[in-house]
């Protein structure tokens, strides 16, 4: 049997590398070398949900009665979110699979890829249920060129990873430092998208929902935000921190530092350009303006810079959260309604654990 399918000669079960180690054989939960990654995998399982859990029918009326500025902002934000999650659903586990040589990391990223499908399907269901003629909205969304440009830097890193992945799977690339550098840069790009760009979009969505409109959309995207912040971005961070503790990780960072710094700047600048566009042409939003959204974006970006140990004079990062309302939206328990009021969003599955096996109880009933 080809070692691409099952590696009978695998010897590194006791300490597999996350990437470019010996090809995988048995799926191993006996040897645990990356407990943080395994915990995040389990957390993602516990947060499992479905795109059809929320009834978006009321959003049809909300879109019809919304003022033009609110309508445009919601459509333009949904356009980018739908596009970005469509990319993520196809560009994480499928692209990184040939490189991954750890059971824990494979479990985590394949589960997150499945979760990204739920996210992309959620935006699709929002559009399908919120408009009389969804096909016209698809056309409208695909015409938002600024949304495509906003994602362009991350997509370039994903495309580089896509090409290297296939070349490596075909045996045309060596598991050397150059190949590893490509993986490292793609992981940084993924972290940028999930920790900076998604967070900026969520702020717009939740500001609109704070007006009382589009509540089902708010609840579903609140679930998406929980996934992205609590699991996806934390897995990216865990992978990067682990790799930067290794010699090849430190070498990748030094060899690619200029590209990485440029990537971060391009991502942040694209967000600031998007914010300027979003609040142009007379568009306004109650409780939100370009200055506040810019501060929130920089607040999120600061976390990525700090994780990577990069300093910059290009931006002035806020020291505290400039959008306090985001705290309630990013902590689902703070906005939990009763099931009679609206669809509930705060729950986890598979969180009950039995610890009484083998115990004999003396109680008589």
Dihedral in degrees, nearest 10, Cα atoms 103, 105, 110, 111: 100
User: Which helix (H) or strand (E) element contains residue 64?
Assistant: helix 57-65
Confidence band of 11 (pLDDT split at 50, 70, 90): confident
Confidence band of 364 (pLDDT split at 50, 70, 90): low
Domain tally for the chain? Answer: 1
**Residue 358: predicted pLDDT:** 54
Whether residue 102 is predicted with pLDDT greater than 60 in this model: the reply is yes
pLDDT tens for each residue of 25-43: 788 888 888 999 999 999 9
In angstroms, the CA 286 to CA 298 distance is: 21
In SS3 terms, 235-254 reads as HHHHHHHHHCCCHHHHHHHH
> Taking the model in full, what pTM does it have?
0.86
**Residue 13: predicted pLDDT:** 76
Confidence band of 271 (pLDDT split at 50, 70, 90): very high
Q: Residue 178: inside a domain, yes or no?
A: yes
Whether residue 172 is predicted with pLDDT greater than 70 in this model: the reply is yes
Q: Residue 232: inside a domain, yes or no?
A: yes
pLDDT tens for each residue of 274-291: 999 999 888 888 888 999
- Closest CA relative to residue 315, chosen from 327, 331, 304, 324: 304
Domain limits for position 218: 55-335
Which tops the pLDDT comparison, 362 or 176? 176
Q: Residue 200: inside a domain, yes or no?
A: yes
Q: Residue 365: inside a domain, yes or no?
A: no
Instruction: Enter the tokens of residue 358.
Output: 């083998």
Q: Residue 362: inside a domain, yes or no?
A: no
Q: Residue 22: inside a domain, yes or no?
A: no
- Residue-by-residue DSSP string for 282-299: T--BTTB-HHHHHHHHHH
Whether residue 348 is predicted with pLDDT greater than 50 in this model: the reply is no
Whether residue 337 is predicted with pLDDT greater than 50 in this model: the reply is no
Q: Residue 1: inside a domain, yes or no?
A: no
Whether residue 56 is predicted with pLDDT greater than 70 in this model: the reply is yes
Q: Residue 158: inside a domain, yes or no?
A: yes
The pLDDT of 338-364, averaged and rounded, is 46
Whether residue 145 is predicted with pLDDT greater than 90 in this model: the reply is no
> What CATH number is given to the structural domain containing 101?
1.10.620.20
């Amino acid at each position: 049997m080809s070692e691409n399918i099952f590696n009978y000669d695998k010897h590194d079960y006791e300490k597999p590398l996350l990437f470019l180690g010996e090809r995988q054989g048995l799926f191993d939960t006996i040897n645990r070398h990356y407990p943080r990654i395994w915990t995040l995998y389990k957390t993602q399982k516990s947060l499992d949900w479905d795109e059809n859990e929320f009834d978006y029918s009321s959003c049809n009326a909300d879109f019809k009665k919304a003022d033009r500025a609110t309508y445009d902002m919601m459509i333009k934000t949904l356009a980018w979110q739908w596009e970005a999650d469509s990319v993520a659903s196809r560009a994480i586990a499928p692209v990184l699979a040939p490189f991954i040589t750890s059971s824990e990391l494979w479990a985590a990223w394949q589960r997150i890829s499945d979760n990204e499908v739920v996210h992309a399907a959620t935006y699709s269901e929002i559009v399908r249920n919120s408009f009389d003629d969804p096909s016209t909205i698809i056309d409208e969304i695909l015409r938002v060129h600024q949304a495509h440009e906003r994602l362009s830097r991350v997509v370039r890193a994903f495309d580089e990873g896509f090409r290297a992945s296939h070349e490596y799977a075909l045996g045309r690339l060596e598991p050397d430092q150059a190949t590893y550098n490509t993986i490292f840069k793609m992981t940084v790009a993924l972290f940028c998208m999930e920790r900076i760009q998604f967070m900026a979009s969520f702020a717009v969505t939740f500001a609109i929902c704070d007006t009382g409109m589009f509540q089902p959309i708010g609840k579903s995207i609140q679930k998406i935000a929980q996934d992205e912040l609590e699991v996806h971005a934390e897995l990216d961070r865990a992978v990067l921190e682990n790799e930067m503790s290794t010699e090849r990780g430190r070498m990748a960072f030094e060899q690619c530092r200029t590209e990485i710094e440029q990537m971060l700047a391009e991502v942040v600048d694209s967000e600031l350009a998007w914010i300027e566009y979003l609040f142009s042409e007379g568009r306004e939003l109650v409780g939100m303006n370009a200055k506040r959204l810019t501060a929130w974006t920089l607040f999120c970006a600061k976390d990525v810079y700090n994780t990577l140990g990069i300093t910059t004079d290009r931006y002035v990062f806020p020291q505290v959260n400039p959008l306090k309302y985001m705290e309630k939206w990013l902590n689902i328990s703070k906005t939990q309604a009763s099931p009679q009021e609206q669809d509930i969003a705060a729950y986890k599955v598979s969180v009950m654990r039995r610890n009484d096996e083998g115990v004999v109880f003396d109680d008589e009933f």
